[in-house]
Structure 1
Amino acid sequence: MAPNRHLEIQYQPFLKYAEFSDDPILVEASPRPQPEQPGLTKTPCCQRRILSMHIVSYIVVVITTSLFWVLVMLSHTSSNDAAAACASSSTIGGTGNTSPLAIPDKAQHRVNITTGATYLTCGNSTQEARSHGCQYDVLLNNWVPAPCYDADFVAEYEEDGSSAAYRDEALTQRIEPGGEALGELEFYYTSRRDHVNHCAVMWRKQFAQLFERRAAFDSVIADPFHTEHCSQYLLDAPERAVKGGEVVPTKTFVGFAGCWVRHEDKTK
């Protein structure tokens, strides 16, 4: 049985050399490989030592590489924490003035169009607004400081012919005259068409401010919530027209807007 067993084993490719086998028959029958150059023959002990050295070197490389990337990640995390701490210490607007707008937490540390601008206010009453030299803006539905009153966009808004204001929800008691007289009221009603016109012209005004980098801009176009409101209203307008007909009044409350004024050169 031994010779047959030997014949079976010798065709196994991974048992080429006797020193890698524990089979006494294979060890006896298979000649040891001759060294390429004369010298000392490598014993199994030496081979195990060399193999151990290779394994140790691989382990050292793996550990060293791992430590390097851990240090890189820790350094990157520390840099981000320092930047966040620095940003949290600054005030919105850059002048010490606090914006009256409720800005989302995600946007608290971002640079925006109000950064570096001075905030002007109209107060909280008609009397205060007049004392600050503010004007009532029918496009904004707010009293606004003089630097932010834009007569051109007010005229564009009124060209549509839908800007009429009414005392009643049925839109039958028109207020005459309009303009600054509306600023004396607590609220008034306008049509669905007027609401759409308001949002459309406000977006044109907002684009002009951003494109031309105007030195003064009102707090309404700088308010992300007003933009969100207008976009949603325009999306819902067709469906509301079908369900509610043409008479869908908007209750408009008179407000008091602020004005951001930049002192930097807008051509920069």
Structure 2
Amino acid sequence: MSLETSDTEPFITKHGNDGPTELQSRDEEAIELILPKSRRPHRSITLSLLWKTIVISFALWGLVSITRDAIAHLRKPRNGACNCGSSIAEAKLRGCRYDSLSTSWLPQQCRDDELTAEFDKASPSGEWTYYSDHNSNSSTYTLEEIAMKAEMKSMKDRRFWVTAEWHTVHCFFFWRKEQRAAKLGTVIEFTGFKSHADHCTEMYTQFLPRDAVVFPAFVGFGDPEEV
């Protein structure tokens, strides 16, 4: 009794003794045309390595450039670099001007006049108010009057008061001054704090009303003789 299998066996492509079928041969030829085995993987690896090399080179160049600028800025002379003397007459002879962002007389190399002019107009009303005492009903000063306070002998007489909003904006603008310094070559004056950023951060955490007149500021002649 014979069994017929032609109608019951599943359709599975088989390789006979003579090699692959004609259909497989054509498929393999098409693949060879699209993706040559001997070239394409090698070229892909080469391009990948080249791209990575370019990216790493640019990253290293940027790091070296930033480091070089930072070192050059830090190597600038510090002691008295922003000092304007002890009187307004002496300050003017040294080419100093009153800088409202720093609340101090500063020489040209320590000022960013463009940024300070922007700061002066950063109030919601377009002009900051400077108070003689820590309440909004106290008398106010003009910038010219504040600049003249630098010659006063006592800290109390050199003091004026500002709002919490003024202080917040001052902090942001001073950070901008520090960031711009590397490009412009500006020497950053001594602020009286080991870290001006830490001081500003501490003030932010108090969450004071914007119009609260709570911060004293003091007028000076820039850096002390020795910083």
User: Shorter-chain-normalised TM-score: which range?
Assistant: 0.5 to 0.7
Query: Is the partner of 1:156 in helix, strand or coil?
Result: helix
What amino acid is the match of 1:204?
Answer: R
* 2:91 is the counterpart of 1:129: yes
Query: Is the partner of 2:161 in helix, strand or coil?
Result: strand
Q: Alignment partner for residue 189 of structure 1, among 140, 143, 161?
A: 161
Tell me the CA shift for residue 160 of structure 1.
2.0
Q: Alignment partner for residue 172 of structure 2, among 179, 182, 200?
A: 200
From the CA coordinates, give the structure whose radius of gyration is larger.
1
Which of 123-132 and 196-205 deviates more?
123-132
What amino acid is the match of 2:98?
Answer: Y
CA distance in 2, matches of 1:122, 1:231: 29
Where do residues 164-243 of structure 1 align in structure 2 (5 Å cutoff)?
Answer: 164-178=129-143, 180-185=144-149, 186-210=158-182, 212=183, 214-220=184-190, 224-234=194-204, 236-238=205-207, 240-241=208-209
- Identical-pair percentage: 23
Partner of 1:138: 100
Tell me the CA shift for residue 233 of structure 1.
1.6
Q: Alignment partner for residue 253 of structure 1, among 214, 218, 222?
A: 218
Which of 124-133 and 152-161 deviates more?
124-133
Tell me the CA shift for residue 190 of structure 1.
0.8
Partner of 1:152: 114
**Structure 2 length-normalised TM:** 0.53
RMSD: 2.9
Tell me the CA shift for residue 222 of structure 1.
11
Decide whether aligned partners of structure 1 residues 144 and 152 sit closer, same or farther in structure 2, where only a CA change above 3 A counts.
Answer: same
Query: Is the partner of 1:218 in helix, strand or coil?
Result: coil
The answer for unaligned runs of 5 or more in structure 1 is 1-110, 260-268
CA distance in 2, matches of 1:216, 1:187: 26
CA distance in 1, matches of 2:194, 2:176: 15
Partner of 1:113: 73
Alpha-carbon contact 1:153-1:205 (below 8 Å) kept: yes
Superposed CA deviations along residues 131-161 of structure 1, whole A, max 9, x for unmatched, are: 3221111110111012322221112212222
Tell me the CA shift for residue 250 of structure 1.
1.0
Decide whether aligned partners of structure 1 residues 206 and 120 sit closer, same or farther in structure 2, where only a CA change above 3 A counts.
Answer: closer
Structure with higher RCO (Cα < 8 A, 6+ apart): 2
**Structure 1 length-normalised TM:** 0.46
CA distance in 2, matches of 1:168, 1:255: 18
CA distance in 2, matches of 1:224, 1:160: 26
Tell me the CA shift for residue 126 of structure 1.
3.1
What amino acid is the match of 1:256?
Answer: F
Query: Is the partner of 2:128 in helix, strand or coil?
Result: coil
Superposed CA deviations along residues 140-189 of structure 1, whole A, max 9, x for unmatched, are: 011101232222111221222263201122132343532x4311121111
What amino acid is the match of 2:178?
Answer: Q
Alpha-carbon contact 2:161-2:214 (below 8 Å) kept: yes
Query: Is the partner of 1:190 in helix, strand or coil?
Result: strand
What is the total number of aligned residue pairs between the two structures? Answer: 141
Partner of 2:23: none
Partner of 1:3: none
Decide whether aligned partners of structure 1 residues 258 and 216 sit closer, same or farther in structure 2, where only a CA change above 3 A counts.
Answer: farther
Decide whether aligned partners of structure 1 residues 114 and 167 sit closer, same or farther in structure 2, where only a CA change above 3 A counts.
Answer: same
What amino acid is the match of 1:183?
Answer: A
